[in-house]
Chains A and B, each alone.
Chain A
Amino acid sequence: MSLGERLFRALTEASSYIILFLVIAIGYSLLLDSLPVFTKFGIWFLFSSEWDPVRQIFGALPAVIGTLETSVLALVMATPVAVGAALFVHEISPAPIMRLFSPIIDALASIPSVIYGLWGLFFLMPLLKEWVMRPLNEALGFIPLFSGSPQGPSILLASVILAIMILPTIASLTLEALKMVPRELVEGALALGATRWEAVRITILPHASESIKASMMLALARALGETMAVTMVIGNTYKLPVSLLEPGVTITSIIANSYTEATSELHISALLALGFILLLISVVVNVISRRLLGRVGHE
């Protein structure tokens, strides 16, 4: 190997190890700092739902559940819309619309999250409260999921905002996946007399489904870590979320809210332990999405 070649190899290899180093350093320091809370409360830290800085009692459950609930709900709402839009643009719409689609998606993706938060609070909240939350509560209030008295800030509002924020991720990745489906397959299906919908169902969706799943995982990872917009609209009430119409908390929202004034060691440790838990959740989600993407590559 020439010197240049060797240098190139060494530099790129070093860079990859720097990334590995960062992940391990962050994870390990979070773990170190969360030791006090785990030694004090043990595994109960994960299952207790009390958060009382005055009495120095900390439990992670409402934040962990709130994080998972808002993110999964957002994914459930965003995926059909994103995949539907991508399918329409790729399969049905005339070319000019397809050319417009990507810039619009990019614009949606580039809005800062604090703007989503403000918009959610001032525009979406009153609308959602009047036209979705109240009717749901009146009609289905006997189901715990829709019980309580809706005031606006809630798990549901946070999930809707998150859904809008992750829409671009799923839509643009799905569109890329659709473009990779061999045209001959679709045309073959159509030539055999399949309708548009049948062609989509039997050729495109099976072919692109792994990519779509992977895009969902990436979107989920984004939703799990989103802080600003969620903090602004979720209502920040530290209790186990029963009803979607009631306020809740997420891991990132409680960290953002509490870290400036957390003076006791245990309190800071509890916040960092939440961070460690979130890191673990994100790693799991990312590993799953890698697996799915990996399968796509091998096909």
Chain B
Amino acid sequence: MNPPRLAKIIAVSIIAVLIVTFAKTSTRGFSPHTGEMIIKGAGATFPYPLYLKWIREYERIRPVRIDYQSVGSGGGIRLLMSGSVDFAGSDAPLNDEEMSKILEAGRGVVHVPTVAGAVVIVFNLPGARELNLTPDTIAKIFLGKIKYWDNPSITKYNDINLPHEEIRTVHRVDGSGTTYIFTYYLSKISDEWRTKIGYGKEVDWPTGLGGKGNEGVSQLIQQIPYSIGYTEYTYAITAGLSMASVMNRAGIFITPSVESISKAAVGYLEELKEDIRSAIVNSPEEDAYPISSYTYIITYQDWSQDPEKGKALAEFLWWATHDGQMFAPDLGYAPLHPEVVKIVESIISEMKANGSPLLGGARQ
């Protein structure tokens, strides 16, 4: 290689380094300018089918365009913080670290629960479609402590003949709100789980296989006899998987259903009034399914920089949590409990611009 070429290669390398460095410091908060009112959102995949339905219905009655990209809860929160979207969809509320980060913008933050969902225990037991499980048993299975299907703590609550076969556990390997809710529940009901594993969108599983997405878990479960795992309720329904009934805090085995999920909030109304971020898992309510939770739309409270957009977004949120709720059950989501809707109303009323609320006067 002769010297001039080497010089060029070095020059190109330096240019590459400079451009990357420049790009990394200069790509914050870019937003294209358009005349039309477009509200952009991104986040959780779990409520995506419902949000799509809402957006389609809403755009029919109001002159506004709403985009929602299902990039995952974490991605949505990142995009909200970088200013790329106007709201984020998330299956988990912001944690304290994320809260303090987003409050740095000085615009406050609101969490609006939009609909309730649940995580269900799905299984592949040849010959059995039903299964009763206690919270403690579930935790021990996923900790790898209960290894065989004929373990007394399973047979005690099930009249079927359970074989001496190894339990194959399957979990989500990709970060997901589903895993967050499931591990949050396990942390609540099992001290051992809380201290050893903890909860999060992705955790260090002590045992079992990993599948990507609800479909990955479901494929593995269908392929491997004597396996057990967890998916979203809506997914399990559409895929026709066998779901276990889980013993709730009142000591009753509850089959997951839109009604039993919707009930979960009832035991927690005081907590929800205090902080809407508080979870509704392990509800003390008698007919509530215990592994239930809300999915949220997270956005800024102060819209002084663009009052018009803020107003449009607040109106959409109001519509979604009221009229929009009727579309939920058909798609497998549990509507907000009426008492919770009241709390949501006060949250949306807190959204403001230049000191005055975005939604003036009495609504509907």
Which residues of A does B touch, CB under 8 Å? 17, 20-22, 24-25, 28-29, 32, 50-55, 121-122, 125-126, 149, 151-153, 231-232, 235-238, 247, 256-258, 260-264
Contacts and interface: CB of A to CB of B under 8 A. Distances in A.
Contact of B174 (A51, A151, A261): A261
Which of B8, B12, B78, B98 has the largest number of chain A CB atoms within 10 A?
B12
Given A149-B166, A257-B174, A237 B208 contact: yes
Given A53-B203, A54-B204, A24 B12 contact: yes
Contacts of A54: 197-200, 202-204
A263 B203 CA distance: 13
B74 A260 contact: yes
Interface residues of B, number: 47
Given A32-B20, A53-B202, A54-B198, A256 B209 contact: no
Contacts of B211: 236
A32 B9 CA distance: 21
B200 A236 contact: no
Contacts of A260: 71-72, 74-75, 174-175
A247 B216 CA distance: 15
Interface in B92-150: 97-98
B228 interface: no
B176 interface: yes
Interface in B1-42: 8-9, 12-13, 15-17, 19-21, 23-24
Which of A17, A51, A151, A237 has the largest number of chain B CB atoms within 10 A?
A151
A232 B12 CA distance: 39
Interface in B172-218: 173-177, 197-205, 208-212, 216
What are the nearest 4 A-B pairs in CB distance?
Answer: A261-B175, A236-B210, A260-B72, A52-B204
B223 A122 contact: yes
B175 A121 contact: no
Contact of A236 (B75, B198, B212): B212
B153 interface: no
Given A52-B203, A232-B216, A24 B71 contact: no
A70 to B, nearest CB: 16
22 contacts: A17-B8, A24-B12, A24-B13, A28-B20, A52-B204, A53-B201, A53-B203, A54-B199, A125-B223, A152-B224, A231-B212, A232-B216, A236-B173, A236-B211, A256-B212, A258-B202, A260-B174, A261-B73, A261-B174, A261-B202, A263-B77, A263-B201
A151 B209 contact: yes
A54 B205 CA distance: 11
A122 to B, nearest CB: 7
A91 B203 CA distance: 55
B209 A153 contact: yes
A237 B210 contact: yes
A264 B87 CA distance: 19
A237 B209 contact: yes
B236 to A, nearest CB: 19
B354 interface: no
B219 A121 contact: yes
Given A24-B12, A54-B203, A257-B173, 14 more contacts: A20-B12, A22-B16, A55-B198, A126-B223, A151-B168, A151-B209, A152-B224, A236-B209, A238-B205, A247-B209, A257-B175, A257-B212, A261-B202, A263-B98
Contact of B74 (A32, A122, A152, A261): A261
B228 to A, nearest CB: 13
Contacts of A50: 204
B220 interface: yes
A38 to B, nearest CB: 17
B220 to A, nearest CB: 7
Which of B98, B197, B224 has the largest number of chain A CB atoms within 10 A?
B224
B17 to A, nearest CB: 5
Nearest to A18: B12
Nearest to A236: B210
A257 B201 contact: no
Contacts of A151: 168, 209, 224
A270 B156 CA distance: 45
B12 A257 contact: no
A238 B175 CA distance: 14
A22 to B, nearest CB: 8
A28 B210 contact: no
A29 to B, nearest CB: 5
Contacts of B15: 21
